[in-house]
Structure 1
Amino acid sequence: MPAFLLIDLECTCDDPMFERDDMETIEIGAVLGELTDEGFLPVRQHSFYVRPLIHRQLSAFCTSLTGIEQHQVERAPTLAETWHAFVHWLGDAPVRGWGSWGKFDATQLILECRLKGLDFPLEALRHLNIKQLFARKRGHRTGLEMALQLSGLSFAGRPHCGVDDAMNIGRLLAQDALLRQAVLDRLPD
């Protein structure tokens, strides 16, 4: 069965925010599932913590927002090492594409890989902006929590936890047939 990958990132942050080039991924929340006309069925999920190299000390704002604590990133592998673990986790799954809630995740991963001289392992796959597809259906953009509410769902888990956010995008795909069809229509055969 062809697979679809959902990703949500958490990055170093502070108030006021860092410059875009200084933001670093500290969590890649990933959900791999089967996307069909009937629904989205998660097959496996994982939270990959990443050790930042620029802002090694997480701000109190970042910890409060994401729930990620200093000890989690201090023990985590670098982004280069995380990509190896990520590719191993994906295995030989026949992934048709990947999606995220908005374009931030794709833009951040591409930029950060470029700045660190890394290959981007999802480069050959089509990225879909699920937030944009949802907005086209509803007539306006909204955050993930509101999108879930508009679809009769409540948020499960902790907001700004990468894997929980990715799972909630999957729940939205499972619930919303029009959104699911919009994603399926944009994936290669």
Structure 2
Amino acid sequence: MIISNKRESNHCPLMFNGITITEPPTINILGATIDQKLNWTSHINTVATRAGQRLGILQRVTHHLTPQNLPTIYKEETRSVMEYSPLAWVKQRSRLDGQELPMKATPAAYVKDFSDPVYKEIAVTNGHINRMTRDELRTKLAELHLETRGVKDVLRKRLKNYYKKQKLTQTLLIKPECSDMYYDYICVIDFEATCEENNPPEYLHEIIEFPVALVNTRTLEIEDTFQEYVKPELKPKLTEFCTKLTGITQDMVDKAGSFPDVLQRVVDWMREKELGTNCRYAVLTDGSWDMSKFLNVQCHLSSIEYPRFAKKWINIRKCYGNFYKVVNIAAKAFIDHP
């Protein structure tokens, strides 16, 4: 389906392998039905019809139900039809045990009223920013003590976001103390593992250090840390190369606990910090190896279940590369930059 705001969409027919592809009048994405004009009429009619049919059935059997059962059946059979699409699109928070937490009600401070004159000021400012050259954008960002690296589109977006937040804060449409961060904390994890100077392809890395830094997203300060060494079992003796690379000695790992015990202490530490219960958090790593390689292999070697908190993580290396349009970036390259 081709989406267009034109009254008559006279585009070329879509072909695949010599066969004309028939365009559907509507498309369903995660429960939301839209047409070529991004119109929701079909979706609203469908939901209203399905909900009305189920509500009619419920009305006919009401006298057979108890006051306790009636609300339950209504929520399961009728209300679920009306709420399916919004729940599929809205972000969810996860706990350490993998259970979903309900989203908090949106505070009135975040409800946007676009009739406010401040939005016209923002639009005018955005128009001015759109006409600025790359050098002008970098100069302005430097004056505001903001990052000046990136392509022109990135610089433009950064400057727009800054002025938008400033103007909304000044008009008290958003509270200064309210953060636009989705997460309250970031758990930065960077494992150290056993290694050899020339690791064969089938080499199994064992985690020998489990460090976590708890970063407050509002203050950008490290509030707490967890750090323990882990005793390897498959190859208990560290190579000279491993000790030189990681700084971890044989004595350190000999006195350490097993990986299952250390992992349990990590989970207990996270629960103590109320991560996943009262505080929203995410795990962050430099690359994908820490979770997909090191932790995954270690859990298999230790015959334990892969922890739920590590099933999703932020790959800061990939985020940095995507933002600045660079590839194969080394960790030190972006840490050294301001």
TM over 0.5: yes
Query: Residues 42-61 of structure 1 correspond to what in structure 2 (within 5 A)?
Result: 42-61=222-241
Q: Give the secondary structure class of the aligned counterpart of 1:26.
A: strand
- Tell whether 2:303 aligns with 1:117: yes
Deviation at 1:148, TM superposition (A): 1.6
Q: Separation in 2 of the partners of 1:64 and 1:29?
A: 18
Q: CA deviation at 1:31?
A: 0.4
Q: How does 1:1-189 map to 2 (within 5 A)?
A: 2-19=184-201, 22-36=204-218, 40-90=220-270, 91=272, 92-93=274-275, 94-107=279-292, 108-123=294-309, 126-140=312-326, 141-149=328-336, 151-152=337-338
Secondary structure of the 2:257 match is coil
State the percentage of identical aligned residues.
23
Correspondence for 2:121: none
Taking structure 1 as reference, are residues 112 and 124 closer, same or farther at Cα in structure 2, changes over 3 Å only? closer
Using the TM superposition, give the Cα deviation of residue 54 of structure 1 relative to its aligned residue in structure 2, in angstroms.
0.8
Cα distance between partner residues in 1 of 2:310 and 2:239: 34
Structure exhibiting the larger radius of gyration computed from Cα positions:
2
Q: Secondary structure at the match of 2:197?
A: coil
State how far apart, in whole Å, the 1-side matches of 2:244 and 2:264 are. Answer: 29
Q: How many residues align?
A: 149
C-alpha change, 1:78 and 1:18, in structure 2 (3 Å) is farther
Task: Deviation per CA, 1:76-129: give whole Å up to 9, x if none.
Answer: 011101011111222223342101000000112123213322123344663110
Point out which structure has higher relative CO (alpha carbons under 8 A, 6+ apart). Answer: 1
Which one-letter code corresponds to 1:145 in the other structure? K
Inter-partner Cα distance in structure 1 for 2:299 and 2:221:
30
> 1:71 deviation in Å?
0.5
**Which has the larger share of strand?**
1
- Cα distance in 2 for partners of 1:145, 1:58 equals 25
State the distance in 2 between where 1:76 and 1:124 align.
Answer: 22
CA RMSD of aligned residues (A): 1.9
Paired letter, 1:44: D
* Cα pair 1:50 1:82 within 8 Å, conserved: yes
Q: Which amino acid aligns with 1:105?
A: D
Q: Distance in 1 between matches of 2:311 and 2:281?
A: 7
The separation in 1 between residues aligned to 2:320 and 2:241, in whole angstroms, is 29
TM-score by length of 1: 0.72
CA distance in 2, matches of 1:5, 1:78: 22
How much does 1:46 deviate? Answer: 2.4
Partners of 2:237 and 2:284 in 1: CA distance: 29
Gaps of 5+ in 2: 1-182
What's the offset of the Cα at 1:41?
A: 1.9
Shift of 1:28: 1.4
Change (3 A) 1:137 1:124: closer
What is the aligned partner in structure 1 of residue 35 from structure 2?
none
Structure 1 residue identity aligned to 2:242: C
Q: Secondary structure at the match of 2:217?
A: strand
